[in-house]
């Protein structure tokens, strides 16, 4: 029981995926104190790094100490007052999650939906905003449950024009697909590290526009146990969560340096390394690498006469849904891949449970060798399970062709 020695899995599901080696190494770095100038220096570096990752000038770009849904909840609970109208366009499981989190924060949540496997046209969003008149629009950029990527470039303009705060969860998409926070006029974005950024789950970078921050600072409070006589009076209704109270979190990350939580230093080291890794390689190159790996995986799947799920024109670069063929036991195939080939691919949720596999090519694993091994192994396992493949080796050959390996 005692030795921590997990098998060397190749994680080709929808995330988490294998961490970059330098990210793993960073996490074994010894700590410094939370107000050590070295630590506050690292916090400032992380803010600067994630401004680049998010393509933003937003001063308020910090980490929430928790998994990606902690970032979602922090952004929503801090900007929602009870009975505020929140509009959530849903195109997969994570849209439901945003609606659920907003509802628990006390919002009057209205949703619109498209079938799983599709995305919204901006006009649908504009029409719904005009009808519902929400204070906040909350939607995901990439919903891993369906693999779809919602185009966002026109939606921010609609929100500004109609005076709606625009929040986006980009956990599944960031790093592997463009995300232009300022150009697209996003007011708040939250992500996680465990997809294309190549870290583990457990830290949620967020970026907040001045518009968002102005709104939440109207509910600024300081805890009783640390309040000094010189501190400003509290104002506005208290945010419903202490842990996710963004004005308090900004007081901790900002020049006030007021104690809130104790920053999870190891996960901060990790988040810092994930960002540096991305910026060192170059964000455009990383996206291109994901596009190539995703195209190779898609080509391989199709060449094996398997059918990708949904409207693949709107697929994220980093994950593909594969329709499980009739008469194939999807879970048995996954099990075989995992236990005999050390390769993990994903299952799915809700209406797609048991109907599609999800195969990711993310972060460190957006590589030629991982794509080739996965396709070969999937072919072997399907063949041995009696599934009639189009042609032996067709999948891996199609993927090599994308990588310039010719026929």
Judged by CB, which is closer to a copy of itself: 231, or 285? 231
Helices (H) and strands (E) in the chain, counts: 13, 13
185: three-class secondary structure by DSSP: coil
Lookup: tokens for 146: 């369906």
Judged by CB, which is closer to a copy of itself: 135, or 195? 195
Q: How far is the CB of 75 from a copy of itself (least distance, A)?
A: 12
Judged by CB, which is closer to a copy of itself: 187, or 263? 263
Judged by CB, which is closer to a copy of itself: 88, or 125? 88
Judged by CB, which is closer to a copy of itself: 349, or 387? 349
Are 8 and 233 in contact by the 8 Å Cβ rule? The answer is no
Q: How far is the CB of 378 from a copy of itself (least distance, A)?
A: 16
Q: How far is the CB of 122 from a copy of itself (least distance, A)?
A: 24
Q: Does 200 bind a copy of itself (CB under 8 A)?
A: yes
Among 59, 100, 118, 182, binds a copy of itself (CB under 8 A): 100
Instruction: Name which of residues 45 to 74 contact a copy of itself (CB under 8 A).
Output: 45, 65-70, 73
Judged by CB, which is closer to a copy of itself: 350, or 405? 350
184: three-class secondary structure by DSSP: coil
> Can you tell me the distance from the alpha carbon of 38 to that of 204, in angstroms, rounded to the nearest whole number?
21
Residue 72 to residues 129, 246, 370, 406: CA-CA distances in angstroms? Answer: 21, 12, 31, 44
- Number of other CB atoms surrounding residue 212 within 10 Å: 25
Judged by CB, which is closer to a copy of itself: 97, or 155? 97
Of 230, 262, 141, 198, the C-alpha closest to 23 is: 198
Among 85, 160, 240, 367, binds a copy of itself (CB under 8 A): 240
- Number of other CB atoms surrounding residue 127 within 10 Å: 13
370: three-class secondary structure by DSSP: helix
Interface with a copy of itself by CB under 8 A: which range of 33-41, 153-161, 174-182, 366-374?
33-41
Are 363 and 196 in contact by the 8 Å Cβ rule? The answer is yes
Q: Does 81 bind a copy of itself (CB under 8 A)?
A: no
Instruction: Name which of residues 287 to 306 contact a copy of itself (CB under 8 A).
Output: none
> Can you tell me the distance from the alpha carbon of 101 to that of 355, in angstroms, rounded to the nearest whole number?
27
Q: How far is the CB of 398 from a copy of itself (least distance, A)?
A: 26
Q: Does 234 bind a copy of itself (CB under 8 A)?
A: no
- Number of other CB atoms surrounding residue 13 within 10 Å: 23
Instruction: Name which of residues 315 to 374 contact a copy of itself (CB under 8 A).
Output: 338, 344, 349-350, 353
Interface with a copy of itself by CB under 8 A: which range of 5-13, 132-140, 147-155, 372-380?
5-13
> Can you tell me the distance from the alpha carbon of 350 to that of 82, in angstroms, rounded to the nearest whole number?
29
Omega before residue 16 within 30° of 0, cis: yes
Query: In the 8-state DSSP scheme, what is residue 233?
Result: P
> Can you tell me the distance from the alpha carbon of 275 to that of 242, in angstroms, rounded to the nearest whole number?
28
Per-residue x/- marks for a copy of itself, 101-140, CB under 8 A?
x-xxxx----------------------------------
Residues touching a copy of itself, count (CB under 8 A): 91
Alpha helices of 119-170 — where are they, by DSSP H? 122-132, 155-161
Query: In the 8-state DSSP scheme, what is residue 308?
Result: B
Are 244 and 63 in contact by the 8 Å Cβ rule? The answer is no
Instruction: Name which of residues 201 to 230 contact a copy of itself (CB under 8 A).
Output: 201-202, 223-228
Lookup: tokens for 20: 């970059």
Instruction: Name which of residues 251 to 290 contact a copy of itself (CB under 8 A).
Output: 259-267, 269-270, 272-273, 276, 280
Is residue 358 part of an annotated ligand binding site?
A: yes
Judged by CB, which is closer to a copy of itself: 17, or 286? 17
Annotated binding site for substrate: 358
């Amino acid at each position: 029981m005692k030795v921590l020695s997990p098998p060397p899995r190749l994680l080709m599901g929808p995330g988490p995926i294998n961490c970059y080696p330098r990210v793993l190494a960073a996490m074994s770095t010894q700590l410094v104190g939370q107000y050590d100038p070295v630590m506050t220096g690292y916090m400032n570096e992380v803010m600067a790094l994630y401004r680049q990752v998010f393509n933003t000038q937003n001063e308020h770009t910090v980490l929430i100490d928790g998994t990606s849904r902690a970032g979602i909840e922090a952004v929503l609970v801090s900007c929602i007052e009870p009975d505020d109208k929140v509009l959530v366009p849903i195109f997969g499981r994570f849209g439901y999650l945003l609606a659920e989190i907003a509802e628990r924060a006390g919002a009057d949540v209205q949703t619109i939906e498209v079938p799983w496997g599709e995305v919204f046209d901006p006009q649908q969003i504009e029409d719904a905003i005009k009808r519902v008149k929400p204070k906040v629009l909350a939607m995901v950029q990439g919903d891993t449950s369906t693999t779809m990527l919602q185009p966002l470039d026109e939606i921010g303009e609609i929100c500004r024009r109609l005076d709606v705060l625009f929040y986006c969860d980009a956990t599944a998409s960031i790093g592997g697909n463009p995300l232009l926070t300022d150009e697209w006029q996003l007011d708040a974005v939250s992500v996680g590290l465990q997809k294309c950024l190549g870290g583990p789950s457990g830290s949620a970078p967020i970026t907040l526009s001045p518009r968002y921050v102005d709104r939440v600072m109207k509910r600024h409070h300081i805890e009783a146990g640390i309040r000094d006589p010189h501190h400003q009076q509290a104002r506005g209704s208290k945010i419903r969560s202490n842990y996710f109270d963004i004005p308090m979190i900004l007081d901790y990350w900002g020049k006030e340096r007021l104690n809130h939580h104790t920053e999870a230093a190891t996960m901060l080291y990790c988040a810092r390394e994930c960002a540096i890794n991305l910026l060192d390689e170059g964000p455009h190159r990383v996206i291109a690498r994901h596009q190539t790996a995703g195209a190779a995986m898609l080509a391989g799947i199709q060449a094996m006469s398997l059918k990708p799920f949904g409207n693949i024109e709107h697929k994220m670069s980093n994950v593909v849904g594969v329709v499980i063929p009739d008469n194939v036991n999807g879970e048995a195939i996954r099990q075989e891949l995992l236990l005999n080939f050390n390769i993990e691919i994903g299952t799915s949720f809700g209406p797609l449970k048991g109907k599609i596999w999800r195969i990711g090519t993310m972060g460190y694993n957006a590589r030629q060798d991982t794509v080739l091994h996965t396709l070969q192994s999937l072919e072997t396992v399907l063949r041995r399970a009696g599934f009639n493949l189009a042609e032996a080796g067709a999948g891996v050959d199609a993927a090599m062709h994308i990588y310039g390996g010719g026929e």
